[in-house]
Amino acid sequence: MEQPSILVIDDDVELCDLLADYLSQEGFHVETAHDGATGLSRATSEAYALVVLDVMLPRMTGFDVLRKLRESSTVPVLMLTARGEDVDRIVGLEMGADDYLPKPFNARELVARIRAVQRRSAKPDESAPSRDRMAIGDVELDVGARTVRRAGEEVALTSAEFALLEVLLRAAGRVVTREDLCERVLGRRFSPYDRSIDVHVSNLRKKLGDDRPGRERIKTVRGLGYLYATGPA
pLDDT in tens, 149-187: 999 999 999 999 999 999 999 999 999 999 999 999 998
Determine the pLDDT at residue 123. Answer: 62
Choice among 20-24, 48-52, 196-200, 212-216 with the minimum mean pLDDT: 212-216
- Pair 42, 28: CB distance under 8 Å: no
Q: For residue 128, is it within any domain?
A: no
Confidence at residue 129, expressed as pLDDT on a 0 to 100 scale: 44
Q: Encode pLDDT of 70-110 as tens digits.
A: 999 989 999 998 866 778 889 999 999 999 999 889 999 99
The arrangement of strands across the sheet holding 139-142 comes to: 133-136, 139-142, 147-150, 153-154
Q: Which domain holds residue 97?
A: 5-121
How many domains, the chain? Answer: 2
Please, what is the average pLDDT of the chain?
A: 89
Q: Could you tell me if 208 and 151 lie in one domain? A: yes
For residue 12, pLDDT over 70 is answered with yes
Same domain for 99 and 140, yes or no, is: no
Whole-model pTM: value is: 0.82
The answer to whether residue 179 sits within a structural domain is yes
Whether residue 126 lies inside any domain: the answer is no
- My answer on whether 166 and 91 are in the same domain is no
Q: Which distant-in-sequence residues (6+ apart) come within 8 Å of 86 by Cβ?
A: 193, 195
